[in-house]
Amino acid sequence: MADLISGFKMFGKAPYEQVDSRVFTEVIIDGIRNEEKIYGPVFTATLIKYALRAVAKLTGEEPSKEIKTLDELAEYLISKSDKYPPYYIVIWAQFVTEKKLEGHLGAGERVMDIGISKRVMASDGDLRSELIKGDLGNVILKFYQTVVELKIAPLEMGYKKNEDGTVDVLHRDCFLLDGCQLSLNASLSKRPDGRQVCGFAASACQYLRKATGHDWDYTVLVFDKPHCIAKCYTL
């Protein structure tokens, strides 16, 4: 496994073993609100329907009252955190809903990523100053420090700069790994060109965009326990 992380500059480990389920669920819900602006109320209603179906299938339980809003859905899912990770349900429902409406993960997924990143970057100030003080590594470090503070980060993260200007981002023991595998098995978490979706790589790209003024995208290079690696590059 040492060969896999050769050449990567690794940051310190997160000071916790479990993520904050409430914070991460709310961050994802923020991203979904962005999608609602594009698709309208039908998107939210459909997503809630699929989320509740998933809960019923997993637990055999139905909500005691009708759930109509994303805030109500978040509270209901978080109340069941002892039975399953609520963020898994939200992400699963988002994948299913977008594929129902678009046929694949496309523009909506990118809009969701932007919405999620807005919440994460809200207190980070001028990321361009981080770039000026050092290099792209400082921006990736700032991203990791922020998600650690929110208690939604993988246990460890690092980066490697490449000669062609791209940046490889590595994260270890990501708590989304099992959910990503389930989504891949169900052919849900792939973009139109077949590339795999990765929420953390997408958020890192939004940080790089804010710091450099250029759009960034990513391609997952390694997806396996305990490491994932994504290549980030300018468009």
Give the torsion through C-alpha atoms of 173, 220, 110, 98, to 10 deg: -80
Confidence at 94, pLDDT banded by 50, 70, 90: confident
Phi and psi angles of residue 232, each rounded to the nearest 5 degrees, phi first: -105, 135
Q: In the chain, what's the furthest Cα-to-Cα distance?
A: 57
pLDDT in tens, 201-222: 988 888 888 888 889 999 999 9
pTM flag (> 0.75): yes
Which pLDDT score is estimated for 22?
Answer: 93
Instruction: Return the structure tokens found at 62.
Output: 């139905």
Give whichever of 37-41, 141-145, 165-169, 182-186 has the largest mean pLDDT.
165-169
Residue 130 and residue 231: Cα distance in Å, rounded?
21
Mean pLDDT comparison of 31-40, 96-105, 200-209, highest-scoring range = 200-209
- Structure-block tokens of residue 1: 């496994």
pLDDT of 104 strictly over 50: no
Q: Give yes or no for residue 107 having a pLDDT over 90.
A: no
Who wins on pLDDT, 108 or 139?
A: 139
Distance CA 68, CA 44 (A): 8
153-166: average pLDDT = 91
Residues 103-111, mean pLDDT to the nearest whole number? 51
Instruction: Give the whole-angstrom CA distance, residue 148 versus residue 58.
Output: 30
Task: Answer for the pair 205, 216: CB distance below 8 angstroms, yes or no.
Answer: yes
Where residue 132 falls among pLDDT bands split at 50, 70, 90? very low
Edge to edge, the sheet with strand 216-223 lists: 9-10, 156-161, 167-172, 227-234, 216-223
pLDDT of residue 118: 62
pLDDT at 106 over 60: no
Residue located via tokens 């993260």: 157
Q: Which residues lie below 8 Å from residue 179, measured CB to CB, with a gap of 6+?
A: 85, 87, 88, 91, 92
Q: pLDDT tens digits, residue range 6-30?
A: 789 998 888 988 889 999 899 888 8
Pull the structure tokens for residue 100: 């129902």
Residue 106 or 200, more confident: 200
- Residue 71, pLDDT > 70, answer yes
